[in-house]
Amino acid sequence: MQLGDARSGKMAENIIGFGRTLRRAGLPMDSARIGVGLQAALLVGIEAKADLHAALLATLVCRQQDQVVFDQLFDAYFRNPELTQQLLAQMLPKATQASAKPKRLARAQEALAAVRAALNTQPREEEKIQFDAALSASDRVRLRHADFESLSASEFRLVERLAREIALPWPQLNARRLQSALHGIRLDWRRALRESARHDGELLFLPYLARRLEPLPVLLLIDVSGSMERYARLMLAFLHHSTQRVARSVFAFGNHLTDLNPAFRLTDTDAMLVQANRLINDFAGGTQIGASLAELRRTQSRQLVGRRIVVLLISDGLDTGRPEQLAAELDWLKRNCRSLLWLNPMLRFDQYQPTAHGAKALQKKADGVLAIHNLERLEELARSLVQLVKR
């Protein structure tokens, strides 16, 4: 495909096609932007490939992380279009899997249908436990105090649903934005003049401006190693639901760090869990807290500007990395956040004392250690969080 003469209109088609390719690769793209790209290409001219590259880069790309994708696709598209398809397929493995799925689903469904016909009673019992709201009182008490590890699959699902209903009052901060109030730090002149206009120019009372209250931002670090599987899942559901009004960033760590923010942007908690499952690829692996925190420091440190952020570290402290690295990283984290809270499911053991070096380090550096192994503890967490975080 030759880049034709601009007047003959071939270039417009090429650039529109390129824009659509970028959209398929996941870049945010709309027709207005492609139009601007076209104008830019006309201005810059197509003789110098580097200039065209720069022009399209400035107009079609708006995030630094998309630049790499753009570079690869530009080379492929304007030199060898067949290569583009291969590249796209590589970048979007999900796309090819999705097309394979329907076939599998049908066969699996047939197989399941046969099995279900044989074991007719099984699914109905499960449904009974899940949708039967009329639990006996002793059942309810038992579920509130039962450790998440000890629940059966259906009970766990029920408890997960109940956990989402726990309200979590979140610590708030005096923001810099002001709003009208009766008492405050400065006079609201606009309102004063407006009010005085109603009373013939007399100021009968002075309206003030006070600082708004905003929730503190939160950083959630969730350990997804083998020992934490149930707790991680439940805490993800609980926190996703209860921190919806809060500015949050979420990362899962095991052997390395996984960014869960795309999952947490979904409003439905079940959809979020599915997406989180897809994003995390070292579920039930080992734990390297120090290395994961180092990765966080390298890639995300700019977000911790301002020392306002509350860090919730959900882990059992069974770390297999180097102790000095963990200590250094925890120091850095403490320096850059308002409060570091360690949510530890190991507190389910009455006589728990931290013996693993990771747990010892966390115990020393964290501003507070909280238990999260059953529903009752979660409610306690919800009640006490505001006091634990310093104002």
Partner 1 sequence: MTGTLGVDSIDALIKALAAVGYQAERRLATAVFLSLRLQRPLLLEGEPGVGKTELAKALAKVLDRPLIRLQCYDGMEQREALYEWNHAAQLMHMRAQPEGANPEQLEHEIYQEKYLIRRPLLQALEAPQPGAVLLIDEVDRADAPFEAFLLEYLGEFQVSIPEFGTIKAASAPVTILTSNRTRDLNDAVKRRCLYQWLDYPERERELSIVREQVPQAGEALSQQVATFVARLRSAPFVSAFSRSPGIAESVEWAKALVALNTLMLDPEVVQNTVGILFKQREDIAALEPMLEALLQPEPDSEPSI
Contact pattern for partner 1 over residues 64 through 83, marking x by CB under 8 A: x--x----------------
Strands (E), 186-336: 186-187, 208-215, 218-223, 248-253, 257-259, 310-314
Q: What is the DSSP string of 315-382?
A: ------S-HHHHHHHHHHHHHTSSEEEEEEGGGGSTT----SHHHHHHHHH-SEEEE-SSHHHHHHHH
Considering only 12, 44, 246, 382, the residue that binds partner 1 (CB under 8 A) is 44
CB 92 within 8 A of CB 25: yes
Q: Which is nearer to partner 1, 86 or 244 (CB)?
A: 244
**Of residues 290-309, those binding partner 1 (CB under 8 A):** 297-298, 301-303, 305-306
Considering only 62, 89, 108, 185, the residue that binds partner 1 (CB under 8 A) is 62
Length of the chain: 391
Stretch that binds partner 1, among 4-12, 33-41, 106-114, 235-243 (CB under 8 A): 33-41
**How far apart are alpha carbons 36 and 304 in whole angstroms?**
35
Enclosing H/E stretch for 89: helix 81-91
Least distance from partner 1 to the Cβ atom of residue 64, Å: 4
Q: Which is nearer to partner 1, 43 or 182 (CB)?
A: 43
Q: Which is nearer to partner 1, 33 or 233 (CB)?
A: 33
Q: Report helix, strand or coil for 254.
A: coil
Least distance from partner 1 to the Cβ atom of residue 202, Å: 10
**How far apart are alpha carbons 84 and 378 in whole angstroms?**
50
**How far apart are alpha carbons 296 and 287 in whole angstroms?**
15
Q: What share of the chain is helix, strand, coil (3-state, %, to 5)?
A: 60, 15, 30
Q: Which is nearer to partner 1, 296 or 381 (CB)?
A: 296
Considering only 59, 242, 288, 344, the residue that binds partner 1 (CB under 8 A) is 59
50 binds partner 1 (CB under 8 A): yes
CB 220 within 8 A of CB 314: yes
Q: Which phi and psi angles does 176 have, rounded to 5°?
A: -85, -15
**How far apart are alpha carbons 199 and 194 in whole angstroms?**
9
Q: Which is nearer to partner 1, 124 or 198 (CB)?
A: 198
Least distance from partner 1 to the Cβ atom of residue 8, Å: 23
Least distance from partner 1 to the Cβ atom of residue 218, Å: 14
Q: Dihedral of CA 158/159/165/170: which sign?
A: negative
**Of residues 168-207, those binding partner 1 (CB under 8 A):** 175-178, 189-190, 192-193, 201
Q: Which is nearer to partner 1, 178 or 382 (CB)?
A: 178
271 binds partner 1 (CB under 8 A): no
Binding-site size for partner 1 (CB under 8 A) equals: 38
Tokens of 54: 């720069």
Least distance from partner 1 to the Cβ atom of residue 205, Å: 15
The DSSP bridge partners found for residue 41 are: none
Least distance from partner 1 to the Cβ atom of residue 330, Å: 13
54 binds partner 1 (CB under 8 A): yes
229 binds partner 1 (CB under 8 A): no
**How far apart are alpha carbons 239 and 223 in whole angstroms?**
14
Exposed/middle/buried for residue 189 (C-beta within 10 Å: 0-12, 13-18, 19+): exposed
Least distance from partner 1 to the Cβ atom of residue 40, Å: 5
Stretch that binds partner 1, among 26-34, 84-92, 107-115, 132-140 (CB under 8 A): 26-34
Task: Point out which residues bind partner 1 (CB under 8 A).
Answer: 28, 30, 32-33, 36, 39-40, 43-44, 50-51, 54-55, 57-59, 61-64, 67, 175-178, 189-190, 192-193, 201, 297-298, 301-303, 305-306, 332
